[in-house]
Chains A and B, each alone.
Chain A
Amino acid sequence: KQEVTQIPAALSVPEGENLVLNCSFTDSAIYNLQWFRQDPGKGLTSLLLIQSSQREQTSGRLNASLDKSSGRSTLYIAASQPGDSATYLCALKGGNKLVFGAGTILRVKS
């Protein structure tokens, strides 16, 4: 059974810092990994998708990496802004569903 762990559970940083969110998983038999953002009371917005054959994907200030051999993915956010404050979820696609981590709650202070 796939288990997904996100560390840290919560993170508070001053504006402008570069930061890394971590996602680890137990089963490397996945199709892809997706990072989502969720604002309070809102739905999930897809940030980046990394196919199982890929190592990383970039979008603007975001960079996500995938290392299946070690069961890890990281989301790197450069030059953080208060608008980046949200919960970040990683989700692994395998079988008939996505398996989600519990998320990292990020607060960027101005």
Chain B
Amino acid sequence: NAGVTQTPKFQVLKTGQSMTLQCAQDMNHEYMSWYRQDPGMGLRLIHYSVGAGITDQGEVPNGYNVSRSTTEDFPLRLLSAAPSQTSVYFCASSYSMSQAVYGYTFGSGTRLTVV
């Protein structure tokens, strides 16, 4: 099924550990992005990419790295996990960042707990 696939669905990390959250889409979308969802804070943009080889920071980029070597994949790396990074992470993609006709498709999320 066409869509956005995120792995893993659940993860528990110890403070200081690193890990990569995977995101893949098979819709040939140019634009991909990572959001985190926290109670009372809504969804906030971490990083985004408008195409292979191009990435930029969102509202809350500290502690996270991204890369976009292919159109399909947009992994999110936590360099040294902190309890403040406990959250639900969503990957989202779209054909275009600026054209009104295109909406966003979201993955099912990764629930991350840092202890």
Within 8 Å of chain B (Cβ to Cβ): is A81? no
Say yes or no: B48 contacts A46, CB within 8 Å. no
The CA-CA distance from A45 to B108 in the complex, in Å, is 9
CB neighbours of A45 from chain B (8 A): 106
Q: Of B58, B100, B108, which is within 8 A of A31 by CB?
A: B100
Q: Mark A42-63, 1 if CB is under 8 A from B, else 0.
A: 1111100101110000000000
In the complex, which residue of chain B has the Cβ closest to the Cβ of A4? Answer: B42
Q: How far is the CB of A59 from chain B (nearest CB, A)?
A: 13
In which size bucket is the chain B interface? Answer: 20 to 34
Q: How many residues of A contact B (CB 8 A)?
A: 24
Q: How far is the CB of A93 from chain B (nearest CB, A)?
A: 7
Q: How far is the CB of A60 from chain B (nearest CB, A)?
A: 17
The CA-CA distance from A42 to B42 in the complex, in Å, is 15
Where the two chains meet, the residues of A that have a C-beta atom closer than 8 Å to any C-beta of B are 31-32, 34, 36, 41-46, 49, 51-53, 89, 91, 93, 96-98, 100-103
Query: Can you list 25 A-B contacts (CB < 8 A)?
Result: A32-B101, A32-B102, A42-B108, A42-B109, A43-B106, A43-B109, A44-B90, A44-B92, A45-B106, A46-B104, A46-B105, A46-B106, A51-B101, A53-B100, A89-B43, A93-B100, A96-B45, A96-B56, A96-B97, A97-B58, A97-B59, A98-B45, A98-B92, A98-B104, A100-B42
